[in-house]
Amino acid sequence: MKNNISEYRSEVIEKFINIETLINAIICQHYFHRIITHFFLEVLYDEHFNFSLRRNIFEKILKKLGKYEDKKIQDLYKLNKIRNYFAHCNQEIFRLDKNGSVKDSGVPDPRKTKNYINFNEQYKEFIKLEPEITTYLAKVFKEMGGEMSKSL
């Protein structure tokens, strides 16, 4: 396993971009029955079209299609949380003892600030869950009549 957090960060973010792209394709396929490039790029790909909105629309689509799977959605939430840790949490802090010596250091967990994020464990969980979710999303897209290609 890699020891470099920067490499983890890059891999997690790039793989999550692929997940978002698949969800965008599902949204397009649902509403237009095909990929409409300008809508895909100008609306769904816009930097202000955040993941929460994308995920909510995706969940509505799954429910309408009768394909909603709570476990898959929970795993998608986990992947997003891990992606956010890698994308936004990077400020290491140093805790000092009474003598002013460094007692410990790490990047605080935003949900439990007394704890540090274990990026190695977060990476392991992401790498375990991501292939299953990516495969699931591709399957949903294909079942909707979407066709996979390397370009729009």
Looking at residue 150, what is its pLDDT? 67
| 105, part of any domain | no
Q: What is the mean pLDDT of the segment spanning 94-102?
A: 83
Domain residues for the domain of 13 are 5-87+118-143
Looking at residue 98, what is its pLDDT? 87
Q: Taking 80 as the threshold, does the pLDDT of residue 1 lie above it?
A: no
| 129, part of any domain | yes
Looking at residue 3, what is its pLDDT? 55
| 60, part of any domain | yes
pTM of this prediction?
A: 0.86
Question: What pLDDT, in 10s, does the model give residues 4-37?
Answer: 888 999 999 999 999 999 999 999 999 999 999 9
Question: What pLDDT, in 10s, does the model give residues 42-94?
Answer: 999 999 999 999 999 999 999 999 999 999 999 999 999 999 999 988 777 88
| 102, part of any domain | no
| 56, part of any domain | yes
Question: What pLDDT, in 10s, does the model give residues 114-131?
Answer: 888 889 999 999 999 999
| 99, part of any domain | no
The beta-carbon contacts of 84-87 under 8 Å, at least 24 apart in sequence, are 85/117, 85/119, 85/122, 86/8, 86/9, 86/12, 86/13, 86/119, 86/122, 87/9, 87/13
Query: What is the band of 2 on the pLDDT scale with cuts at 50, 70, 90?
Result: very low
| 108, part of any domain | no
Number of domains in the chain: 1
What span, in angstroms and rounded, lies between the C-alpha atoms of 105 and 84? Answer: 20
| 77, part of any domain | yes
